[in-house]
Amino acid sequence: MAVSAYPEFFNDVFGPVMQPGSSSHFAGPCRLGNLAGNLLGEPPSRIRILLDERGSFAGTFGIMAEDRAMVGGVLGFRPDDERLFRAFELAEEVGAEVSFEFTELAESRHPNAVKFVMTGRSGREAALVGNSTGGGMVETVSVNGFPLHAIGDGYVLLVFDAQRRIGEEQLAALVPGLAGFVESHEVAVDGRGVLHAYMLVAEPDLAALGGLPTAALPGVAVAVLEPLLPVVSQRDRRPQLFDTMTAWREIGKREGLPLWEVAVRYEMDASGWPRERILERMRMLARLMRRQTRAVYEEDVIVPLSPFKPDFAGRWAKHAASGGAVTDGVTAQTIKWAYGAGSGIPGVVVVPGPMGGGGGYIYAAMSAVQDARGLGEDDLLHGLFVAAAIGAIAYSRSAPTGEVTGCTGEAGTCGAMAAAAIAEMAGGSPEQVENAASLALQAFTGMPCDPMPGGLCQPCRSRILAATCTAHVFADLALAGHEAVLPLHEAIDVADGIGRGLPPELLCTSAGGACTAPAARRCRTDFEQWFAASKPEERPPASLI
C-alpha cells in the first residue's frame, strides 16, 4: 500500500547505514525482522523463520549473517546496531526460542523471501512474509495472512477485524484522528475477516483514537509498522525529476546548473527536505565512508578473522610497504582504501551503494583521485551527489542486486557510479561524465553472482576490486574523448536484460558458476563443517563481502 515511490539517494542508493555485511542478505533481513517485531507488538517467546528451500537465503544461509540479522530484527535491533552479531545469545537471554525451517514459501516466489511466525509472551501470535529486494530495501507481502504491500517509508496502522465488527461509522470516527493520513487500504480474506490499513507520515496516537474499539469488540487487534527508511514519503511528493542522464544533462544545460546541483534538486523533490539538510546528510555519509575505508589502518580496531576470511588489508599494507607492489599511484591507493572498506569490522558502520559496503568502495576510488589531484572536500561531495544520481537512475530502470541482475547489478553499478563521480571531480563535461558511467557499466555487463562458501571472499572480492580500481580508467577514457556509444540508460537496460536472463543458479544462490568447480566444492565442505562446529558469535560479520 506504499505511496508510489521512485528511487532517492538516502533510502535506495546510499543506505542503509549498517554494520558490515551484505545489504540484501543482512540489512534487508534485519529490516524485515523489525517489521515482524512491530507486528507482534510485544517481546517474543518463540520466533520461527521459514525460508524458501530454493531461494537465495537457503543457498548462502549464515554466510552473510542472515540468521543473526533476522533474529536481531525481531528483537528490535536496526541494521546499524552492533548487537546484531549477538542476536542468538540475546534471544536466549530474553527467553525467546528460535528455529529456522527450509520449505516452500507459497506466499512469495522472490529469491529473498522470508516468513516470520512469532508467539509473544502473552500468547499473541503474528506472521509476516516479506522480501529483501536489494540494497537493504524490503517489501511486505502479507501480515497475519492478509495481503499487504509496504516498503517501510511511513507509519502503517493496521486494524485487524476478525469478526467484521467495525462499521462505517466507527471507521469514519477513526480516520480524522490520524495525523498526516496519506492512503488507506482494505482487504477481506475468507476465514480471517477484514484488514483496514492506513499509511501515515507521522506516528499515530493510539490513545487519542476514540473511535477504535479494540477493548470493546472481540477479534479486533491493532498494530503499527514503523518506518524503516530515513526519508519518509510525503503526500505532496514531486514527480521524479529525471530517470535518464540525457534528461538530467538537459535540465542542467537549460538552467545553467552543474550536474551535482541538479542532483541535489532531484533529492529535494524526492525527499521534501531542504537543501542544507540534504547537503549535511551527504557530508555525514562521506565521513562514515571515510572511516569505513581507513579505520583498519588508523584506529585500534580488531579485524574479525576466520579460516575463510583473512586480513586482506593487513596483507596489502605489508606488501605495499615491502616495495614489491606492481601497481602504484591512484590504483595502489584505491586498492588500499578498498581493502579497508571491506574489512568488516563490527562497530565500524558501512554505507551500501548498492551492495553492502559499496559506498565505501566508491569512496575509495574517489578518495584516491582526490588525494592525487589535491582536490577539496567540496569536490568530493559534488562527486558523491553525481554518484548518487547515477545510482538512482539505475534503481529506476533495473534491480541492481545480485539476486536479480547478478554482479553487474552490484559491482558493475558501483563502478559506474565511481567512474561518473571521478569524471565530475576532474572537471569533465556532463557528456563526459555520462560516457564514464556507461563505459564502466558496459565493461561489467553479464557478470553472474556466484559467491563461493568458504572461498576467501571469491569471486565477489575480485569483481568489486576490478570495478573500483578501473573507475578512474574509464573516467580518463571519457575525459580523453572516448565515447560510450550507448547512453547510460540504454547501457542499464542492456545490463538489466542480460542479468534477468541468467539462470537462478547464477543469481546469488551459491549453486552455479564458480561454485561448481572442484576446488569450490572442497571449500564449501570445509566451510560447512566449520560453520556447524562454530558458535554464531565466533563468525565474522560477513564471510564473502
Strand order across the beta sheet in which 137-143 lies? 97-103, 44-52, 113-120, 125-134, 137-143, 146-147
What predicted TM-score, i.e. pTM, was given to this entire model?
0.92
CB atoms within 10 A of CB 229: 21
For residue 540 the three cell numbers come to 565474522
Residue 68 to residue 376: CA distance in whole angstroms? 40
The closest alpha carbon to 118, from 47, 32, 29, 30, belongs to 47
The closest alpha carbon to 121, from 46, 176, 60, 67, belongs to 46
Residue 258 to residue 479: CA distance in whole angstroms? 17
Strand order across the beta sheet in which 181-189 lies? 181-189, 193-200, 155-161, 220-225
pLDDT tens, the chain, 545 aa long: 544 568 999 999 998 999 998 888 999 999 999 999 999 999 999 999 999 998 888 877 877 789 999 999 999 999 999 999 999 999 999 999 999 999 999 999 998 999 999 999 999 999 999 999 988 999 999 999 999 999 999 899 998 999 887 777 766 666 555 655 667 788 999 999 999 998 887 888 766 655 455 555 677 888 999 999 999 887 788 999 999 999 999 999 999 999 999 999 999 999 999 999 999 999 999 999 999 999 999 999 988 888 888 899 999 999 999 999 999 999 999 999 999 999 999 999 999 998 889 999 999 999 999 999 999 999 999 999 999 999 999 999 999 989 899 999 999 999 999 999 999 999 999 999 999 999 999 999 999 999 998 998 899 999 999 999 999 999 999 999 999 999 999 999 999 999 999 999 999 989 999 999 999 999 999 988 988 888 776 776 654 44
Residue 322, classified by CB atoms within 10 Å of its CB into exposed (0-12), middle (13-18) or buried (19+), is exposed
Question: Three-state SS for 110?
Answer: coil
Domain 9-225 sits in which CATH superfamily?
D-3-phosphoglycerate dehydrogenase; domain 3 (3.30.1330.90)
Residue 271 to residue 231: CA distance in whole angstroms? 6
DSSP single-letter state for residue 450: -
134: Cα separation from own chain's centroid: 5
Give the start-to-end residue ranges of the domains of the chain: 9-225, 245-538
Residue 408 to residue 464: CA distance in whole angstroms? 10
Q: Are 148 and 184 in contact (CB under 8 A)?
A: no
Q: What is the CA radius of gyration of the chain?
A: 23
Residue 356 to residue 350: CA distance in whole angstroms? 7
Cβ partners under 8 Å of residue 516, min gap 6: none
For residue 244 the three cell numbers come to 535518464
